[in-house]
Amino acid sequence: MDDTKKIQNSADLKLQKTLTGKILAQHLVKGVLIPGEEIGIKIDQTLTQDATGTVAYLEAEVLGIDRARTELSVSYIDHNTLKMDFKNADDHVYLQSVAAKYGLILSKAGNGICHQVHLERFAQPGKTLLGSDSHTPTAGGIGCMGIGAGGLDVALAIGGEPFFLKTPKVIGIKLTGKLKPMVAAKDVILEVLRILGVKGGVGKALEYFGPGVKTLSVPERATITNMGAETGATTSIFPSDEVTLEFMRCVGREDQWVRLEADNDVEYDEIIEIELDKLVPLIAKPHSPGDVVPVSEVEGTKVDQVCIGSCTNSSFKDLVTAAYMLKGKRVNPEVSLTVSPGSMSVYCELAERGYLADLIAAGARILECTCGPCIGQGQAPKSGAVSVRTFNRNFKGRSGTADAQVYLSSVETAVSCALTGVITDPRAMGELREIPMPEKLRMQNALIVEPPGREEAEKVELIRGPNIKPIELRGELPEIVDGRVLIKLEDNISTDIIMPAGIYLPLRSNIPEYAKHVFEPADPDFYRRAKENNGGFVIAGENYGQGSSREHAALCPSYLGVKGVIAKSFARIHLANLINFGIIPLTFKNAEDYNRIDPDDELQIRTADLDNGDLVLKNLTKGVEIPVQHTMTSSEVIRIKAGGSLAYISRSNS
């Protein structure tokens, strides 16, 4: 055996003792499990949501996919539910027709937030789940490997193709002790974010272990795995144990339970230890989920708005916690409090047990079971407002108000703020009674539509309203790729800056219209300049494209002719999306070369040079050559030269 092989085998063995490695190994169809190496894995389940789903299914049409080949695929409608005009309504009808034709389960608007519903009804320990939403790792709370991806990757997985990813390193997060009263699972993940920051998880999986694990219920674990996405991690996962079994019994799926955990002699690439009993209530300050401090540090700040819900904190336990704290009290008159239940099952249970009445009587405004304010769909704060939210993202402007100050906290902290009108450490509010979990959470089926059988499905016509425009394919790269620098950006640019959501969500299935808003929060003139220059380049700092999985953040710039992004580093999902839509992703070999490029400079690279990982970027304006590199595999280089994966696959199929 040669040396490289020996090293490979030992890396392989080490990884396979982790829970992450075990699930990857069971699903491996291509490559070797060595951190950093590309592998292909079989996907058991997929999920899409409407804001990414319409385009994913339009792409599935381009790819000629006719029927889901997964064990289970679900299409959720939970982001764009307000239907201010025909656009969203048309999208919903399209999604319903797609679900019937392709054999997908449809979760209609009002049924709940995709990750909450998936956790309750479908996620299974040991399975792989690919979702066109960055918070798909929520399913890790039940021991299911959830990974977020662009819609094209999900469409391919629906068609039975493997999903390709770089094998992650595994960080073991050891939990010891038990949380003190008024300290919540949300504080655990805020602590992880305080330690790792918003890019510390890139290329890694976060795997929880240790004696503290059994003190956390599945929904609490899911809060933690959900927000692991904010570290940039590929996935986050908890073992499947008796607590998992108890949850699966509660939702009527105990037959799907299997025990899963890492081996006793597991060796993680890195270990972070969190003593649960030492944790204090934490809060992420504006405008980054990674800017975490103890609540006590910002105590007394006046609060205008509190929002409870989102895929991070909308479980039965979360909302009963809110109801207990609010019962018989009154929300501070200067605060507007909203509550969005995570699923219809949670909502009904709250109603049946009287908790809903407690929330309403205290002055909480109950919103639909959807993403709502989290994605800027309503409840935009007043100008300059302070909003405390139990959500996972507080990027500037995401709430719909550019100068709002959004803080992220646990339900306990958020309710304390709603009652007092200022940021308050929840421990000052007294102790919370033990929350009684229902023995059974009755699943509500009124808004779930099962697909018809194959024969019926063949007769289904896809219904496309006038706002749904076909996806255009990009042409092959010319020999020389050149153009102007259209914009130069700093570190940690989120997809909310590249392709804002909020009021523009109804344009998700209309790329020509949506593209008019590319980079609008950073530079409202970008669209005009991109058009005038016939595209060009984007220069960025570290962690470019952090946040959502929305492929529109690549698809729309690609539509405007953006040719390449040269950054200090990229976020995982966005990098894949750039390749899918033909935008060349390059990084500086020397980070300080970022300073050798200015807006409007004329840049040039040779397409043939992409065959090497290292290449030269010419800055023709400044007369300098800048060494840059890429991490694309040889097959990704072929695809980018063809105008991106979508263009490549669809031309190869025809």
Residues near ligand MIC (CB under 6 A) are: 51-52, 79, 133-135, 148, 375, 393, 501, 547-550
Question: Which 3 state secondary structure label does DSSP give 200?
Answer: coil
132 or 321: CB nearest ligand SF4: 132
Instruction: From residue 126, give the alpha-carbon distance in Å to each of 23, 144, 246, 272.
Output: 6, 5, 17, 24
Smallest separation, CB 228 to ligand MIC (Å): 13
Task: Return the C-alpha torsion angle 371, 377, 383, 387, nearest 10.
Answer: -10
**Residue list 65-84, contact with ligand SF4 (CB under 6 A):** 79
Q: Are 372 and 82 in contact (CB under 8 A)?
A: no
- Which residue number, 381 or 547, has a Cβ lying nearer to ligand MIC? 547
Q: What is the DSSP letter of 341?
A: -
Task: Give 141 or 426: the residue with its C-beta nearer to ligand MIC.
Answer: 141
Would you give the binding string for ligand SF4 spanning residues 122-141, x where CB under 6 A is met? -----------x-x------
Residue 49, strand partner residues: 76
d(CA 318, CA 108): 23
In sequence order, what DSSP letters do the residues of 350-386 get, joined into one string?
Answer: HHHTTHHHHHHHHTPEEPPSS-GGGGTSS-PPPTT-E
Q: Pairing state of beta strands 614-619 and 365-366?
A: unpaired
Q: 3-state class of 374 per DSSP?
A: helix
For every residue of 22-39, DSSP letters joined together read HHHHHHEEES---TTSEE
Are 571 and 546 in contact, with CB atoms under 8 Å apart?
yes
Helix (H) or strand (E) holding 345: helix 344-352
Helix axes 316-326, 344-352, angle to 10 degrees: 40
Interface residues for ligand SF4 in 440-459 (CB under 6 A)?
none
Out of 136, 387, 392, 546, name the contact with ligand SF4 by CB under 6 A: 392
Between residues 550 and 568, which has the closer beta carbon with respect to ligand MIC? Answer: 550
The nearest distance, CB 369 to ligand MIC, in angstroms, is 15
Least spacing, CB of residue 637 vs ligand MIC, in Å: 26
CB of residue 391 to ligand SF4, shortest distance in Å: 6
Report which secondary-structure segment, H or E, holds 307: strand 305-308
Name the residue among 82, 86, 74, 136 with its Cα closest to residue 509: 86
- Minimum CB separation of residue 137 from ligand SF4 in Å reads 11
Q: Determine the Cα–Cα distance for residues 211 and 110; give it in Å rounded to an integer.
A: 38
What sign does the dihedral 14-15-20-26 (CA atoms) show? negative
Shortest CB 233 distance to ligand SF4, Å? 15
- Considering CB distances under 5 to 8 angstroms, the limit depending on partner class, which of ligand MIC, ligand SF4, none binds residue 100? none
Q: Is 371 in the site for ligand SF4 (CB under 6 A)?
A: yes
Shortest gap between Cβ of 633 and ligand SF4 (angstroms)? 29
Tokens of 198: 């918003």
Select the span of 174-182, 368-376, 571-579, 584-592 touching ligand SF4 (CB under 6 A): 368-376
Q: Which of 15, 157, 319, 375 binds ligand SF4 (CB under 6 A)?
A: 375
CB of 321 vs ligand SF4, minimal distance in Å: 18
550 binds, among ligand MIC, ligand SF4, none (CB under 5 to 8 A by kind): ligand MIC
Amino acid at the residue 126: G
Does position 374 bind ligand SF4 by CB under 6 A?
A: yes
Q: How far is the CB of 310 from ligand MIC (least distance, A)?
A: 8
Quote the least distance from Cβ 238 to ligand SF4, whole Å: 19
Site for ligand SF4 in 175-214 (CB under 6 A): none
Handedness of CA 192, 196, 201, 207 (dihedral sign): negative
Count of residues that bind ligand SF4 according to CB under 6 A: 11
Q: Which is nearer to ligand MIC, 142 or 375 (CB)?
A: 375
Only segment of 31-39, 203-211, 369-377, 622-630 that touches ligand SF4 (CB under 6 A): 369-377
User: Is residue 144 involved in binding ligand SF4 (CB under 6 A)?
Assistant: no
What are the residues whose beta carbons fall under 8 Å from the beta carbon of 294, sequence distance 6 or more?
280, 281, 282, 283, 425
Binders of ligand SF4 in range 495-524 (CB under 6 A): none
C-alpha dist (Å) from residue 118 to 47, 72, 440 = 8, 11, 17
Q: Binders of ligand SF4 among 4-43, rule CB under 6 A? A: none
Interacting residues with ligand SF4 (CB under 6 A): 79, 113, 133, 135, 310-311, 371, 374-375, 391-392
